[in-house]
Amino acid sequence: MADKDQLPPYMATVDRVTRAAITLIPFLLALVAFASTMAGTDFWGHLRFGLDMLETKRFIYSDPYSYLSIPGTWVNHEWLTEVIFALAYRAGDTWGLVALKFLIALGTLLILHRYVSRLQMPLLAHLGLLSLTVVGLMRAFATARPHMMTVPCFTLTVLILTRAVDRPRSLYLLIPIFIFWTNAHGGFMAGMAVVLLWAVSRSVVLVSRKAEGRAIPWRDLWHLWLPVALTVLATLINPYGPGLWSFLLRTATVPRPEITEWQPITVYRGFSLIYGTLLLFTAWGLLHRPTALAPSLRVVYLAVAALPLLAVRHLMLFAVAGPIITAPALAAACPPLSWTKRWTALTALILSLGISVALCVSFLQTPKAPRSRADDWAFPEDAVAFLAEADVEANLATPFNWGEYVLWHLGPEIQVSLDGRRETVYSEERYEVALALYTGKGEWDRLLRDWPTDLVLVERSTPAYNLMSLHPGWTCIYEDELAAIYGRRDGEFAGLSVAQR
């Protein structure tokens, strides 16, 4: 493209407007993509636990919300995010949480934009890369959950690794990141795995100099591994010390067939399409300009690209790491395009205007968030209101997806049997006992026989509804189109009036 100083004044203006409009498109897309915020199954518990810690001003090791938990065994590895959620909620109610989500999402996108801009990547490639990143992050920011803290932390980690190839001292920046990350979300383990993989790969490259007749660069290895070792030690700064690593390593490989986000991305067509598009785009640059990337970064790219094949929730990691690692190769591989034509500017402006209108419509139609009902999650609002009006204290058997919604509204007076915290608060035996009631498998009623269960909350579309309706020792005390509540026939709650709604 000709130098801007040689362009007529009006063409230079068109060029500037075009670039500004196209640069803005990924941010407008992000606002549209992340505008709606749903209350996920775990949201309610995270907010309640954070508010509890703010109120008591102490860390809580014993769970007060479940009658199946063992005192003193709660491993709340997301406590810092929960406190941040509670502060945002106190500051602005649910809109405070939405604002926090947008701050994290747009902040991450701004970091990526600045990084890509410095590479002088052609504008079309710039637009495509950041837009694909936004689409890849849609699932991560659909709800307000601690795992969204992993997105900026992982982004900064990969950026530091790309810089450390030439400036190893920048690795010391990992230390404060991992202190925060370790207490915010268990995703720090993926970050640490990437750091160690990069460090080993980089060490192999450095040591290979010996094969070329050079001395082993002990000083370079020292400057590489010292900050990495300090970063590993920094992860011990948490309420559980080394016990957190032991717990997470023990539970990270536990199969979770009942949780959709832990299934391979190949199970979901929509997410597979997003993943495949991002993979093809980034791999194209890597194959066309392989010398633009250090060997250690190529190893990291391959590892991160494989993660979504294990679980769809890892798509967010590839959505930020893939573009960061391959951006230099893409910048070198993509041919420069001229953006000084009037029709190009007009197209970009129309596209920006269309996205802006879509944003306004989406914002105006979005109800107060987070919502308690969504296509993927429907919560027993009426059933919980019935129990709240009855003002009872009881042990309530709850489905996995409803446990934290119940404890947010009714705890700790009403204690739940099961919720989304899984291994962090329940032993494997107790978790399986509580889950069996709702799957109807094996000794499905063991929770009713061996544990002091007073009430049972079931979703009508599950086998538990039919099983409880036929159980001779239990009677229905409440029912609506979504949920039903059962009490023991000879129990103190059998006298509660039956409500048909």
Please tell me the distance from the alpha carbon of residue 264 to that of residue 260, in angstroms, as a whole number. Answer: 9
Cite the DSSP H helix spans in 185-268: 188-207, 218-234, 242-251
CA–CA distance, 181 with 273 (Å, rounded to integer): 30
Sites in the chain below the pLDDT cut of 50: 1-5, 339-340, 362-376, 499-501
The side-by-side arrangement of strands in the sheet containing 455-459 is: 414-416, 394-397, 455-459, 483-488, 474-479
Q: How far apart are CA 170 and CA 163, in angstroms?
A: 7
CA 243, CA 65: separation in Å to the nearest integer? Answer: 23
Cis peptide before 412 (omega within 30 of 0): yes
Going by C-beta distance under 8 Å and a sequence separation of 6 or more, which residues neighbour residue 36?
142, 362, 366, 369
CB atoms within 10 A of CB 244: 21
State the pLDDT at residue 73. 83
* Confidence at residue 110, expressed as pLDDT on a 0 to 100 scale: 93
418-470 tens-digit pLDDT: 998 888 899 889 999 999 999 888 889 999 999 999 999 999 988 899 999 99
Closest to 309 in 3D by CA, of 267, 269, 258: 267
Q: What is the pTM of this model?
A: 0.86
- pLDDT value of residue 498: 52
* pLDDT score at 499: 47
pLDDT of residue 376: 46
For residue 13, the model assigns a pLDDT of 66
Provide the 10 A C-beta neighbour count for residue 435: 19
Task: Kindly report, residue by residue over 158-210, the tens digit of the pLDDT.
Answer: 999 999 988 999 999 999 999 999 999 999 999 999 999 999 999 998 888 66
Q: Are 109 and 138 in contact (CB under 8 A)?
A: no
Predicted local distance difference test score (pLDDT) of residue 377: 62
491: exposed, middle or buried (Cβ count in 10 Å: 0-12, 13-18, 19+)? middle
pLDDT of residue 347: 58
Q: Determine the pLDDT at residue 199.
A: 96
In angstroms, the CA 192 to CA 232 distance is 8
